[in-house]
Amino acid sequence: MKISKPFWIYTMIAIIGYVIVQVMISSGQLDMYYSNLFITMAINVMLAVSLHLVIGITGQFSIGHAGFLAVGAYISAICTMQLQLPFIVGLIVGAVVAAIAGLIVGIPTLRLRGDYLAIATLGFAEIIRIIFLNWDYVGGAAGMQVMQQTTWTYAFFGMLITIIVISNFTRSRHGRACIAIREDEIAADAMGINITYYKVLAFAIGSLFAGLAGGLFSHNFFIIQPAQFGFLKSFDILIYVVLGGLGSLSGAVIAAVALTIISLYLQDFPETRMIIYSLVLILVMLYRPVGLMGTKEITDLFKRKRKGGDVHE
């Protein structure tokens, strides 16, 4: 079986990065504050990459991604806290329920042409938030206590699985069908692509990984509250994708990592943060409307350098 060389190179680099951070955490060189930063980074990368599949690859404008994050967060917390199930089971159940929520939102709206999805996802995220807000079983507005169980190892491998699955999906006939839909829905349909099926599929996969991120998110903070999953959270995730470059997975990753670090330093100034975000967005729109990476990937830069010299296998 042949898997492309770059795949192994990047996986190895990622795992080396994981080991370094892990060693630094175990040896106490990185305190809670910084290990938390790395975990948050991984979670945000998962959110960025999962939304990238929906918006950047399939071209469906979803602006309520935090809704699926919330479903994963609360469902996994119910599993571990109320039903005493193991953490890993909670993570899986949370992801699956988020995917089902994705199907429920996606099936009726994605069969219609046009941007109904944007409105539907926005509404969905609000409804989800209001449900948790008024549901005493999960603590209502005061929030729900959750045991801290997310470690760097969980977060890293959650992120790695998300990236591998979505990048493998994208580079296959299935992902190509999704990109064709993004490029020209009518032409894709005319070439035999079942456009509703692929839109719903991409949306459900995106929701699944947002749900998985939710499980890691809720078990990282001792408490979750509906207010954490409002429109601003959806907006944050949207910015990763737009800033990184619609259609670029590596762009989404880079933007998520960079903005996680920036927002950490601006944590105590939420207004400043929103102003800076808005300014950055305006600058991007003006000077680089395709985003940081456009539709290019880091791997493309690597390829161009090799061109001419050695032979592709």
In the complex, which residues of this chain contact another protein (CB under 8 A)? Answer: 1-3, 165, 168-169, 172-177, 179-180, 183-184, 186-195, 201, 247, 295
| CB of 10 vs another protein, minimal distance in Å | 14
Q: Distance between CA 68 and CA 215 in Å, rounded?
A: 11
Contact criterion met (CB below 8 Å) for 291 and 239: no
**Residue placing its CB nearer to another protein in the complex, 15 or 187:** 187
**Residue placing its CB nearer to another protein in the complex, 138 or 204:** 204
**Residue placing its CB nearer to another protein in the complex, 39 or 249:** 249
**Residue placing its CB nearer to another protein in the complex, 72 or 175:** 175
Angle of the 32-52 helix axis to the 249-265 helix axis, nearest 10? 140
Contact criterion met (CB below 8 Å) for 97 and 86: no
| CB of 197 vs another protein, minimal distance in Å | 9
| CB of 247 vs another protein, minimal distance in Å | 7
**Residue placing its CB nearer to another protein in the complex, 52 or 219:** 52
Q: Distance between CA 188 and CA 192 in Å, rounded?
A: 7
| CB of 238 vs another protein, minimal distance in Å | 21
Distance of CA 159 to the CA centre of its chain: 9
Take residue 234 and report the two structure tokens written for it: 């959806």
| CB of 166 vs another protein, minimal distance in Å | 9
Q: Distance between CA 275 and CA 290 in Å, rounded?
A: 21
Tell me how many degrees the CA angle 220-91-67 measures, rounded to the nearest 5: 80
